[in-house]
Structure 1
């Protein structure tokens, strides 16, 4: 890792839509390692605007996991009550609405009434086919998304930690991505940009699978009032996979920290298990040991589209 970098703030930003798993822990550890290496404060930001799947016990699991594995954070909520009363994204809805208003005034948003099941049949390779792009439904239509018209998808420059300035274009999978959901809440790409700007995040650490989101968020930030999003540095790390080579998910109960704890695993045992899955030569017993032994691959930028 570069030793001359300095940042103000990074973040751990889990979504409370399931129990955290070993892959989440790996990402938290890499974030903490970069933060301590570069002087950045760690903000705990819980992305909870998926209200259909939000459950308080998933938020509690985030605190339980961080405390159990002694993973640090410097700013943000300290417990479930503090989160719900002061830190939930619900409290920042005026900021998101202002961003949506700015997009509406600039003209690149349109209404989409396509259902998820319809898109499953018409969207090849998860690429939105533009079904509603020229139908000109009113923006105040009920049960409809707002999509951001992405046009010709111009080139963008993204600042990364290991590869410097990367020139890229919006991937097809992010064509006309959603900025406001059918339930009326702003979508992830918009809330993530607004939150990172609001909290002064200048270092974002995330998995390689979120590289398309990083590009989409740069595109979106370029349409909002003058901001510093383009100056943010990004690091995308390799993902932890299961024994079958597939990405871990929150539905994989056997790798959830909650499940491992119920089986009697201690923090040291969980870090040892993670060390084994990563193929490390020696077992780590805490996050600091794991950070110092991570293979070089995990400190090199990995992009997935």
Structure 2
């Protein structure tokens, strides 16, 4: 452990909506390396609330990939059975619903049945309708203020001030199917597990700001003390980030093609434009953190 910042707990939090790809491996490697440098325990948290996309094959792939590549975690499920029995987000549904009811009671959310076209043209009258909280087949949106300045703790030191980006205006906290949305479950989970350090890709900066805003209106002051590290993305081509739908970049596909773990780390290193050879996740992350 270095003499730099010290943290209590971070997390690896994949969504089981596809087979894990090389970009996930880079993020997990950086997370594990920074955890070891800062004394943080690593929690494995699999975000399976979106039941329309979550799949048992993809949950199993999380364990297969981490074990194959030797990327460690200290807390959380040991295997798929343990996850389903004890750690699925379904088990924390009451916590999410408590937060949603708190938002509704404070008048901070509204039911919205508008189409995407209506939302795009800002022709959305739903905010003033005061729908009952048990209204079916509507999304519940947070009433947001794009002028509120939020303070985000940065791993590199200091505080970054930010306001909600336009794409996060009145973002969804409860989906049409009645299940809590990602931004809300992520905030509640991070608070529930005592996370104080989060590593994620630069593409999730808008989500970081949205989650900080949500925590502030919930009066969850603990969230404001979380430190964030946003790392560069691994790109499939200029302007195109890797996707779980791109099977050729999945670890599962590469394993089936006979690639060894060290070869996978070398491929990622090459995609980052780094010439120094690597053989494990620590070496990969050390090189990536120098960029």
Instruction: Tell me if TM exceeds 0.5.
Output: yes
Partner of 2:134: 140
In the aligned structure 1, how far is the partner of 2:2 from the partner of 2:41? 17
- 1:81-119 residue CA offsets vs partner (Å, 9 max, x unmatched): 0000000000001111111111111111100012xxx31
TM-superposed deviation, 1:52: 0.3
Q: Is the 8 A contact 2:146 2:164 kept in 1?
A: no
TM-superposed deviation, 1:122: 4.2
Partner of 1:96: 96
Q: Which runs of 4+ in 1 moved over 4 A?
A: 127-131
TM-score of the pair, normalised by structure 1? 0.91
Q: Is the 8 A contact 1:178 1:187 kept in 2?
A: yes
In the aligned structure 2, how far is the partner of 1:286 from the partner of 1:15? 24
175, 179, 184: which one aligns with 1:181: 175
Cα-Cα RMSD: 1.7
Partner of 1:303: none
Structure 1 residues 1-305: aligned runs within 5 Å: 3-114=3-114, 118-119=115-116, 121-124=117-120, 130-294=124-288, 296-297=290-291
TM-score of the pair, normalised by structure 2? 0.95
Q: Secondary structure at the match of 1:147?
A: strand
Q: Secondary structure at the match of 1:138?
A: coil
Q: Is the 8 A contact 1:102 1:225 kept in 2?
A: no
- 1:237-292 residue CA offsets vs partner (Å, 9 max, x unmatched): 11000134410010111100011111110101111111111111222111112122
In the aligned structure 2, how far is the partner of 1:101 from the partner of 1:27? 34
Q: What stretches of structure 2 of length at least 5 have no aligned partner?
A: none
Q: Secondary structure at the match of 1:215?
A: helix
In the aligned structure 1, how far is the partner of 2:154 from the partner of 2:17? 28
TM-superposed deviation, 1:139: 2.5
Q: Is the 8 A contact 1:280 1:295 kept in 2?
A: no
Q: What stretches of structure 1 of length at least 5 have no aligned partner?
A: 298-305
Q: Is the 8 A contact 1:201 1:232 kept in 2?
A: yes
CA, structure 1 residues 98+263, in 2 after alignment: closer, same or farther (shift >3 Å)? same
- 1:190-209 residue CA offsets vs partner (Å, 9 max, x unmatched): 10010000000000000001
Q: Is the 8 A contact 1:128 1:175 kept in 2?
A: no
TM-superposed deviation, 1:164: 1.6
